[in-house]
Chains A and B, each alone.
Chain A
Amino acid sequence: AQSVTQPDIHITVSEGASLELRCNYSYGATPYLFWYVQSPGQGLQLLLKYFSGDTLVQGIKGFEAEFKRSQSSFNLRKPSVHWSDAAEYFCAVGGLGGSQGNLIFGKGTKLSVKP
């Protein structure tokens, strides 16, 4: 069965430090990959997406992610974290089977930022 794994439940980084959030997926073909961010009390906002082509994709708010087929990974990175980046981050996989548009979400990684 298709699945998405975010190994880190909670990460704390210092403001200004670099960030990498991990995402691994289980799927036979190349999936459609997404990262979303959720601020407290809010809905999910799309950060970036990967469908094909260049394996390094740029998103909003200075985030980027790299698709690595050999590792079935789509890790999210940011070179310098800001306090406003504290939120929960979700990786999602789409294009699965016959369920057009349906996404499978990871369980999320909560990011805390130390001043």
Chain B
Amino acid sequence: NAGVTQTPKFQVLKTGQSMTLQCAQDMNHNSMYWYRQDPGMGLRLIYYSASEGTTDKGEVPNGYNVSRLNKREFSLRLESAAPSQTSVYFCASSVQGPNQPQHFGDGTRLSIL
């Protein structure tokens, strides 16, 4: 019972390189989310997909793009990585609706030099 799977778990990039973070869930959830976690900042929403075929910006979308490939998969792309994007990235999924808890992956630790 995998839940939410994120790949890779760790990555080091150089400034200006591009990278796609992958996320897949096997819980048949409609909604998926990407967060970044920085020390002392909690989790901040980057993008979300309320249902297959839709994506919307969250609190901190600049420098990122997303693709909802199908119901299971939601990827996050950094087109030109910057040191400010060094963070831990979490993907989450939930049943659609405001009262549904989100289920999280184990995160991708990304360092940009």
Let me know if A101 and B40 touch, CB within 8 A: no
Q: Which residue of B lies closest to A101 (CB)?
A: B31
- Output the least CB separation between A77 and chain B (Å): 19
Q: Whole-angstrom distance between the alpha carbons of A49 and B71 in the complex?
A: 25
Chain B neighbourhood of A83, CB < 8 A: none
Flag whether B24 is at the interface (Cβ < 8 A).
Answer: no
Chain A residue nearest in CB terms to B51: A100
Interface contact A44-B99, CB-CB below 8 Å: no
Q: How far is the CA of A9 from the CA of B92 in the complex (A)?
A: 24
Residue of B nearest to A107 (CB): B42
Cβ–Cβ contact A102 & B45, under 8 A: yes
Option from B44, B94, B97, B104 in Cβ contact (under 8 Å) with A44? B104
Q: Which of A42, A101, A105 contacts B48 (CB 8 A)?
A: A101
Find out whether the CB atom of A43 lies under 8 angstroms from the CB atom of B105.
Answer: yes
Contact surface of B with A, Cβ cutoff 8 Å = 4, 31, 33, 40-45, 48, 50, 56, 58, 90, 92, 94, 96-107
Of all A-B residue pairs in the complex, the 10 with the closest CB atoms, nearest first, are: A95-B98, A43-B104, A107-B42, A105-B42, A44-B104, A105-B43, A43-B106, A32-B99, A46-B101, A101-B31
> A residues near B, CB below 8 A?
9, 32, 34, 36, 41-46, 49, 51, 90, 94-96, 99-103, 105-108
Q: Enumerate 25 A-B pairs (CB-CB under 8 Å) in ascending A order.
A: A32-B99, A41-B106, A41-B107, A43-B106, A43-B107, A44-B92, A46-B101, A46-B102, A46-B103, A49-B101, A51-B99, A94-B99, A94-B100, A95-B99, A99-B48, A99-B56, A100-B31, A100-B97, A101-B33, A101-B48, A101-B102, A103-B45, A103-B102, A105-B42, A106-B42
